[in-house]
Structure 1
Amino acid sequence: MASRALDPPRWRAWWPAILLGFVTIGAYGVPHYSFGVLLPSLRESTGWSTGAASAAYSVGALAGGFVGLVAGRMLDRAGSRPVLLGSLVLGSAGLLLASWARSPLEFIVAWGAGGGIVAGGLFYHVTMAVTVRLYPDNRAAAFSVLTLLGALASPIFYPIAGWLVEALDWRGALRVLVALMVLCVLPGALAVRSRPSLGTGAVEVDEPPRHPLRAELAQPHMLWLLVMVMCASGAMSALILHQVPAMQATGISLGAASALAGARGLFQMPGRVVLTPLTRWAGVPGATLLCYTLFIVGTVALLSAGPLVLLGLFVVATGLAVGLLSPLHGLYSAEVYGEARLGTLMGVQQVAVAGAGAAGPWLAGVGYDISGSYAIPLVVIALVQAAAVGALAMQRRATRSVAHPPLAAPPQAVGERE
C-alpha cells in the first residue's frame, strides 16, 4: 500500500509537504500578514489616507481570486512547477514595485497585482491541490504537515515585519520581506512536482466522465459547497480583522487585546495537530460541523465578554476552529470535486472565497460605523457562520441524492389500477 511506502525513511516521504509548508509561510507572510504592520509607517511617511492604502489590500485579495482561477487551470494542465515558480517571480516583482510607489494609485496597482498573483498562485487552494495529488492515500496526515507549518506564517512574519519597519522604513522593510518570501517559496517551487491531470502526460484517475465546467458547478452539491465556504470565509476574515478593536471595546488595553489575538493565532496549531485523529473519528463533514459550532461559541463569547474567562473562551474556541477549518475545507473540497479537475475547481472556489473574504471585513466595519458598537457586527458574524452550518447540511443532503438517486417507479402491469 502507498501508506506503508511513506514510512521509511519519513523525511523522504514528507519533504514535499514540508517544502509546500514553507511555500505557505512565505506566501501568506507578506501580502496577508505583513500588510497591517506596514500600514502605519506607510501612512505616516507618505501622508496617504488609510482608506487609499487599505484599498491595495482589498484589490490584492479580489485579484487573488481571479488569478487563482487561472492558476488552477494551469495546475491541471501543466503541473505545479509553472504555477509555483511563475507566481513567485511575477508576484515578487509586483510587491517590489509597490515599495517604489510614489502615489496611492501606483501603490494600489503594484500591490494589487503582486499580492493578487501571490495569493492566486501560492495560497492554500494551490498547495492543497498539489498535496492531494502527491499523497492520495494520506491526505489528512499530509494536510496536517502542510497547515501546521503554514500556521507559523503569522508568528514568524509579524515580529520580523515589526522589527524591520522600526529599523528601516516601510519601503526598505517591504523589500527585505519580499526577499524572505523568495527564500521560503523558491525551494518548493523548484523541487516539488505534481504532474498535470489534464492533457498530455496527465495522471490517470478512475472517475466518471466529466461534464462541462459550468454544468458541473451547477450541480446542487457543488453549489452548496461554494455557499458553505463563502459564508465561513467571510465570517472568519471579518472576525480576525476586527478581533483586536472588538476586544478593546470590552474595556481591555490595546496591548492586552493584541496579546490575546496572538494567543488566538497560536491556538490554531494544536487544532492542526489533531486533524488526522479528528477526521478518523468524526469524518470530514462531522469535523467541519464541530469547528463551525466552536467558531459560533467563540464569537458569542466575545459578544458577551466582560469577564476575562469569556475572552479566554473566545481565544481557545476560535483559535482551534480557524486552525482546523483551513485543512478541513481543503479535504472537503477534494472529496467533493475529485482529482481530475481539482486545480480548476479549487480556483473557482478561490474566486468565491476571495470575494467573501474581502466583503466580510468591510461590511463589519460599516456595521461598526453605523452602530458605534461591535455588537451588531459580531451578531451578524455568528449568523453568517450559522448559515454555513445550514449550507453544510444542504450539501450533505445533495451529496446523498447524487450517490443514491431515487429509484424509478416500476412499470405497471396491464390492467393494474393506479
Structure 2
Amino acid sequence: MALIGVAPAARPVIAALGVTQIIGYGALYYAYAVLTPAMATDFNVTEPTLFAIFSIGLLLGGFTAPAFGRRIDRHGAARVMSAGSAAVAAALVALAHAPDIVTFALLVVLIEIISFAVLYDAAFATLALHAPRNTRAAITLLTLIAGFASTLFWPLTGWLAEDMGWRGTYLIFAGLTLGLALPLHLWIARRPLPDPAAIAAHPAQTEVQYQRLSGPEARRAFWLMGVGFAISGMVISAVTIHMVPILLARGMGETAFLIAMMMGPAQVLIRVVDATLWRNLHPVAVAMVSAGAMPLAVLALLLPGPPVLTGLCFAILMGTGGGLASIVRGAVPVALFGTEGLGQQLGRLAAIRNLMGAAAPFAFALSTTRIGPGPTLWLVVALGLTGLAVMAILWRKVSRAQAWPATG
C-alpha cells in the first residue's frame, strides 16, 4: 500500500498538516458561503456582492501567489506557513470586528491573499522536503485527512452561527488558527529534514519515479496543466461554495446539509483508491478522472429522478473530482518537473488558477439570479467538459514525450 511507503519520520508531519488544512479550508473557504446570508443582512448588501468580494480576493491572491512561492523555496515552507497562520488569525479577529462593508471587504481580500501561505500549495511544498522520495503518497495521505474539512466545518459553521452569530464564529476560527495551526506549523519548522544518505540507502521505499519533461515540451505541458487545473478549479470553486444553496434550489429541503456532507467521505474514499489501486497510475491520468467526474456530478443533478438520489450522486461525484483534484495539484508537477523549485511552480499554477477562476463564485451567483439555477448548471457542465478536453491534450503530449516510470 502506498501509504505504508511514507517514511515514518514524515508521518507526524503529515498528521500535523492534516489538522492545519482542516482548520484552514474550513475557516477560510467552506464557512464563507454558510455565513454569507447573515453577513449580507448585517451589512445591508446583496449576497452576490459578498461573493464578488471573495472573487476579488482570489484574483489578487493569484497575482501574489508566485511571490509567496519564491519565499517558500527561499525560506522553507513551514516557516512561511507559520507566519501565514499568525497573519490569518489576526485578520480573522479583525474581520469579526469589521464595522462596515468596506473594512470587511479589505479584510476578506487580505485573507485570500495570505491563504496561499497556509493551504495546500504550501503544505505540498512542505511534504516535498519531509518526504522527498514519497511525495505523492504523502500528498495523498494529507488529503485523506484534510478531506473532512467540509464534512466538519459546514455543520460546525451553521451551529456556531446560530448560537454566536457570524462574528463570534470567525472569532472561534481565529482561536483555532492561533491555538492549533500556528503551533503545529512552528513545530514542523523545527523538525530536521531527512538525511539524503539514509534515503539513498533504502531505495525500496521510494515510490515510482517518472521521467521529467524539459525544454519546449515542459513549457507547453506547464501551460496545459495550468489551464486544465484552472478550469476544473472554476467548477469546484463555483459549485462547492454554493453547494448547500444548489441542493436547496433542487428541492432537497432539510436533507441538503446531510447530502452536502457526503462530499467529504467521497473525497476520502477516492483518495484511498488513489493510494492503493491507482498508486502506480500516472498522475496525469488521475487528473483526467478528476476533470471528468465534475461535469458528470452536475449532470447527475440535472437528470430527472428522486431529489435525494440525484443529490447523493452529485455529492459523491463532486467529492470524487474534488478529492482527486487536490492530489493532482501537487502530484502532477512533481511527476513532470520534479521537486526542485516546487514552491515557485505551485505559485505560478495558483496564479493561473486564481486569475482564471476568481470570478467563478460571483459569476455563478449572478447567473443563478439572472437566468436561473438550471441553465447555470448546464453552463457549468460545458465548462467542466472543456477542462476534461484540456487534460486529455496534456495526457496525449505526456504520452508522446514518454514521461513514464523510469526503469533501471
Whether TM-score is above 0.5 comes out as yes
Between Structure 1 and Structure 2, whose CA radius of gyration is higher?
1
Instruction: Give the TM-score, by structure 2 length.
Output: 0.84
**Cα displacement string for residues 120-158 of structure 1 (whole angstroms, at most 9, x for unaligned residues):** 211111111221232122223212221112112223323
Asked if 1:269 is matched to 2:268, the reply is: yes
Instruction: Give the whole-Å Cα distance in 2 for the aligned partners of 1:265 and 1:144.
Output: 14
Asked if 1:95 is matched to 2:92, the reply is: yes
Amino acid at match of 2:389: G
Whether the aligned pair in 2 keeps the contact of 1:295 and 1:321 (CA below 8 Å) is: yes
Alignment of 1:279-318 (within 5 A): 279-280=278-279, 282-308=281-307, 309-318=309-318
Amino acid at match of 2:269: P
Asked if 1:137 is matched to 2:137, the reply is: no
Instruction: Give the whole-Å Cα distance in 2 for the aligned partners of 1:393 and 1:5.
Output: 30
Shift of 1:87: 0.9
Aligned identity (percent) is 24
Whether the aligned pair in 2 keeps the contact of 1:224 and 1:395 (CA below 8 Å) is: yes
Corresponding residue for residue 27 of structure 2 = 30
* Number of aligned positions between the proteins: 387
**Residue of structure 1 aligned with 2:53, choices 56, 72, 89:** 56
Amino acid at match of 1:183: G
Corresponding residue for residue 159 of structure 1 = 155
Instruction: Give the whole-Å Cα distance in 2 for the aligned partners of 1:79 and 1:168.
Output: 38
Instruction: Give the whole-Å Cα distance in 2 for the aligned partners of 1:49 and 1:246.
Output: 17
SS in structure 1 at match of 2:262: helix
Amino acid at match of 1:177: F
Asked if 1:181 is matched to 2:177, the reply is: yes
Farther-moved stretch of structure 1 (18-27 vs 305-314): 305-314
Which structure has more RCO (C-alpha within 8 Å, separation ≥ 6)?
A: 2
**Cα distance change of structure 1 residues 266 and 280 upon mapping to structure 2, 3 Å threshold:** closer
**Cα displacement string for residues 150-172 of structure 1 (whole angstroms, at most 9, x for unaligned residues):** 11222332333333323323222
SS in structure 1 at match of 2:36: helix
Shift of 1:303: 1.4
Amino acid at match of 2:252: I
Instruction: Give the whole-Å Cα distance in 1 for the aligned partners of 2:32 and 2:263.
Output: 19
Instruction: Give the whole-Å Cα distance in 2 for the aligned partners of 1:81 and 1:13.
Output: 13
Amino acid at match of 1:344: Q
Whether the aligned pair in 1 keeps the contact of 2:30 and 2:241 (CA below 8 Å) is: no
CA RMSD of aligned residues (A): 3.2
**Cα distance change of structure 1 residues 68 and 390 upon mapping to structure 2, 3 Å threshold:** same
Farther-moved stretch of structure 1 (94-103 vs 338-347): 94-103
**Cα distance change of structure 1 residues 294 and 190 upon mapping to structure 2, 3 Å threshold:** same
Corresponding residue for residue 108 of structure 2 = 111
Corresponding residue for residue 393 of structure 1 = 392
Whether the aligned pair in 2 keeps the contact of 1:264 and 1:319 (CA below 8 Å) is: yes
Whether the aligned pair in 1 keeps the contact of 2:294 and 2:317 (CA below 8 Å) is: yes
Whether the aligned pair in 2 keeps the contact of 1:59 and 1:116 (CA below 8 Å) is: no
Shift of 1:6: 5.2
**Cα distance change of structure 1 residues 371 and 316 upon mapping to structure 2, 3 Å threshold:** same
SS in structure 2 at match of 1:136: coil
Whether the aligned pair in 2 keeps the contact of 1:140 and 1:275 (CA below 8 Å) is: no
Amino acid at match of 2:167: R
**Cα distance change of structure 1 residues 235 and 371 upon mapping to structure 2, 3 Å threshold:** same
Unaligned residue ranges in structure 2 (runs of 5+): 194-208, 404-408
Shift of 1:220: 0.9
Shift of 1:339: 1.3
Amino acid at match of 2:187: A
Instruction: Give the TM-score, by structure 1 length.
Output: 0.82
**Cα displacement string for residues 364-407 of structure 1 (whole angstroms, at most 9, x for unaligned residues):** 333333323x3322222222222222212222333355559xxx
Give the 4+ runs in structure 1 shifted more than 6 A: 206-211, 215-218
Asked if 1:192 is matched to 2:188, the reply is: yes
Corresponding residue for residue 408 of structure 1 = none
